Amino acid sequence: MHDPQLTAKVRVMNFFNDFRLENVPELTLEGIHIVWFCYTLKNWKALVSTVMRDEMYYEVTYNAELDETYLDVYTKAYNFVISDGQNDNQLTLDLIEAE
């Protein structure tokens, strides 16, 4: 039986190592972490982070019906702290003022 979490890590490792910059060391499996994982029916999805300081994270999705894996690569654009009861309109103002 294959391990879908290991598969997700290998997909991220291979992608990173194939596209890394010349001065960046190779990524190993030990430097990859599953942040969240869900297995539903025959499909699964993993959110993956690495020890690299590039602020990237990865979403690996397996579609069992087509026997395909999709790799989405993201970078964090914003991080907001929202207190309970805070007016969400204030977030828009804060974002506009930050730009």
Domain of 54, in residue numbers:
4-98
pLDDT along the chain (99 residues), means of 10: 90 95 94 96 96 93 97 85 66 57
pLDDT at 35: 97
Structural domains counted in the chain: 1
Strand partners, 36: 47
Radius of gyration of the chain (CA): 17
- Tally Cβ neighbours within 10 Å of residue 75: 8
pLDDT at 64: 96
Sign of CA dihedral 83, 85, 90, 91: positive
